Amino acid sequence: MLSIKERVKKSIPSWLILIRRYRKVHGVFPNLVRPATFNEKTLYRILFDRRTVLRQLADKAAVRSYVALRLGPQALPELYYLTTRPDTIPFDRLPDRFVVKPTHGCGWFQIVTDKSAIDRDALVGICTGWLNQSYYDISREWVYKEIKPQIMVQEFIDDGGGPVPTDYRLFVFEGTVELIEVNVGHLTRGRVRLYTPAWEKLAPKSGDDVPRPAHLTEMIAAAVTLCGELDFVRVDFFDTPEKLYFGELTTSPECAMGRFLLEGLDRSLGRHWNLPHFTTLRPALRLRYVSQNRRPV
């Protein structure tokens, strides 16, 4: 049973929570009438865009069929197990290294690099905790609201660079890659680097450079193939000496609360994002608009 505090919090409209968060993070209220910056347009998408494809892209299990159809199954990490019951995970049949994550959230994962050293009961408990949480209640991002909570156990990608692979995040606008965010050490914020598609470093100016990935050309082509029909999607990849692996698709990076390393990049990226006409964002609204504006024959 929810506490009074939890019930009150759930009753607050998502739009109000998100606008207040935006104001706290960015210091200004978002312009949602004429959004201009990348973060404003991300928030606009969260609040108003209800295209079903966005939900599929956010679902860690459902997106696999989307990627396999466009890039082929070889681009995907191998899926060892998918379940709603973490206690049935077949640990004895798994390889020594693997990754565990839920289908209905973002940033939730457990990397296992030595199966013999893990506390299996503790890991099952973590998975159970994920299944009992609604990521929508946390982030208020519509795409996560109806995703079926499941646990995925999949292949660990080893790029030879450390305990976790480098994450390459490509910002794709209408089939054009405009920015590559490189996360060395995956989710280690202090080791983020920004590059152009030609692998020219943008920020930070100091610090170690990240070597050009072996499959950069294929990476860019794959990102365009996956997202060329959409106004914006961020595509994440892992690159090994042998091949390129798909990571995930993100429709609303950092829930519009991201702070870019390079000054002015928020507005610069916003200029590349042409938001679709409002009638394409909500199917019911589109039908009403078409019927009201249909010309007589």
Query: Is residue 296 one of the residues assigned to a domain?
Result: no
Question: What does the block give as tokens for 10?
Answer: 């759930």
Domain count for the chain: 2
Q: Which domain holds residue 242?
A: 1-76+157-276
Q: C-alpha distances in angstroms, 126 versus 60, 100, 150, 151, 276?
A: 18, 10, 13, 11, 39
Nearest residue to 238 (alpha-carbon basis) of 76, 99, 69, 57: 76
| Whether residues 7 and 149 fall in one domain | no
Residue where one domain finishes, among candidates 105, 127, 156: 156
| Whether residues 178 and 250 fall in one domain | yes
Query: Is residue 105 one of the residues assigned to a domain?
Result: yes
User: Residue-wise pLDDT tens for the chain (297 aa)?
Assistant: 667 666 667 788 999 999 999 999 999 999 999 999 999 999 999 999 999 999 999 999 999 999 999 999 999 999 999 999 999 999 999 999 999 999 999 999 999 999 999 999 999 999 999 999 999 999 999 999 999 999 999 999 999 887 889 999 999 999 999 999 999 875 545 589 999 999 999 988 777 899 999 999 999 999 999 998 899 999 999 999 999 999 999 999 999 999 998 889 999 999 999 999 888 887 655 554 444 455 443
CATH code of the domain covering residue 169: 3.30.470.20
Instruction: Compute the C-alpha angle 245/156/139, nearest 5°.
Output: 80
**Distance between the two ends of the chain, CA-based, in angstroms?**
58
Query: Is residue 68 one of the residues assigned to a domain?
Result: yes
Helix (H) or strand (E) holding 64: helix 63-71
> What does the pLDDT look like over 262-277, one tens digit per residue?
889 999 999 999 999 8
Nearest residue to 57 (alpha-carbon basis) of 186, 187, 226: 226
Query: Is residue 10 one of the residues assigned to a domain?
Result: yes
Residue where one domain finishes, among candidates 156, 189, 214: 156
Compute the distance between CA of residue 124 and CA of residue 100 in angstroms, rounded to an integer: 10
| Whether residues 50 and 87 fall in one domain | no
| Whether residues 205 and 59 fall in one domain | yes
Nearest residue to 21 (alpha-carbon basis) of 195, 252, 241, 287: 252
pTM for the full model?
Answer: 0.90
